[in-house]
Homo-oligomer: A and B are copies of this chain.
């Protein structure tokens, strides 16, 4: 294949784009915002990613792939799958970067914003949240096999994704860990069923 090489790394510029979309949402992010963050020119962006919607779809997939790869790795080897779930929620309530609080969950944000705006993009974000739910389910099943937990896995997984969606809004109301911890502890009591 002949022709000039790309001067940018796809993973790097997609990461940059995801930060902008994550913070500002889909509609409020302008092409100008993206160009600046990705250090690209207009032609390059449209040549490489098509258009704004297509870029967003690729960003969603990129973000999801990274997240679920990490989650799978964490759960795969673990002998304490319940702990993996708990740690995940702890990270949400007490992130290294406190600015994460105002960003919430990328997929949850997308669902909220796009539900009445763009059904195709909404369905895509919904699908990613469902994948996250299925990760919870997998972890619970694993814990069950290890006799570390008992309960209805499907119902509990759906309960957990609801807690997930919830804390990602509530953390904007109360960005301080100490304001979130007691109710989070209450939320996760279902994980202590032996």
Contact = CB atoms under 8 A, between A and B. Distances in A.
B112 A169 contact: yes
B163 A117 contact: no
A116 interface: yes
Interface stretch (A67-75, A78-86, A154-162): A154-162
Interface of A is mostly: helix
A113 B172 contact: no
A113 B137 CA distance: 29
Given A165-B166, A169-B165, A152 B182 contact: yes
A167 B126 CA distance: 13
Contact of A158 (B27, B28, B168, B170): B170
User: How many chain copies does the complex carry?
Assistant: 2
A109 B156 CA distance: 25
A117 B23 CA distance: 8
B116 A173 contact: no
Contact of A112 (B108, B158, B159): B108
A168 B104 CA distance: 15
B155 A182 contact: yes
A174 B165 CA distance: 13
Interface in A13-54: 23-25, 27-28
Nearest to A173: B126
Nearest to A126: B173
A116 B130 contact: no
15 contacts: A24-B116, A103-B115, A109-B113, A129-B173, A154-B182, A155-B183, A155-B186, A161-B170, A162-B166, A162-B183, A165-B168, A165-B169, A166-B167, A166-B169, A169-B169
